[in-house]
Amino acid sequence: MELKPLEDNDKVYRFSLNGVSVAYANALRRASINSVPVFAIDRITFYENTSPMFDEYIAHRIGLVPVLTPSKGYDEKDEILFTLDATGPKTVYSKELPSSDKSVKVANDGIPIIKLAAEQRLRLEGKAITGTALRHSKFQPGLITYEQKGDDSFDFYVESFGQMPPKEIINKACNELIEGVKEVAKKVK
């Protein structure tokens, strides 16, 4: 097996992977999309919403805002609180969702959530938890594709949504694959 980096920055990691089967390449792509745990705002409590939009619509938009996911120190039991208190007239952006933990915060400050007219108010709390895209797409860490270049050659494209660097997505996916294979081996014995 041979891996050759083609592009490497904070947002995109492109690499050529040679000497592997289609099944192996697809397993890596699927694990990168579905099995890497990331934070997302999951449960939202509305205290006031005088906007014309339903609570569920706003909750869905907030849930899709990428949240930075530190590589260590958190597990599926951790909950991070995000709050929002905004009064119009204004456009409410993701940067207005402060977090109870300075290392777990919105990954992009400029995502519009809702436009409030004069005297409209939105006040809420949301809890971020870790999850995988097997549960919901809001837990997907990025866009991962590959193009087959030959019988055993693939060009991968990994674009992070901002929760973690793209190389970390691949590394965590590999770890998830390894753990899955170990679990199967235990069950077979």
pLDDT (tens digit per residue) in 28-61? 999 999 999 999 999 999 999 999 999 999 999 9
> Span 39-132: which CATH code?
2.170.120.12
Residue 129 near residue 79, CB atoms below 8 Å: yes
- Average pLDDT score, the chain: 96
Mean pLDDT of 111-131: 97
Residue 73 has pLDDT above 90, yes or no: no
Give pTM, 2 decimals. 0.91
What mean pLDDT is predicted for residues 102-131?
Answer: 97
Tell me the average pLDDT across 158-179: 96
CATH architecture of 2-36+141-188: 2-Layer Sandwich (3.30)
Region 122-145: mean pLDDT is 97
Q: How many percent of the chain have pLDDT more than 70?
A: 100
Sorted by where each begins, the domain ranges of the chain are: 2-36+141-188, 39-132
Q: In 3D, which of 180, 166, 155, 177 has the Cα closest to residue 18?
A: 155
pLDDT on residue 187: 93
What is the distance of C-alpha 180 from the center of its chain? 21
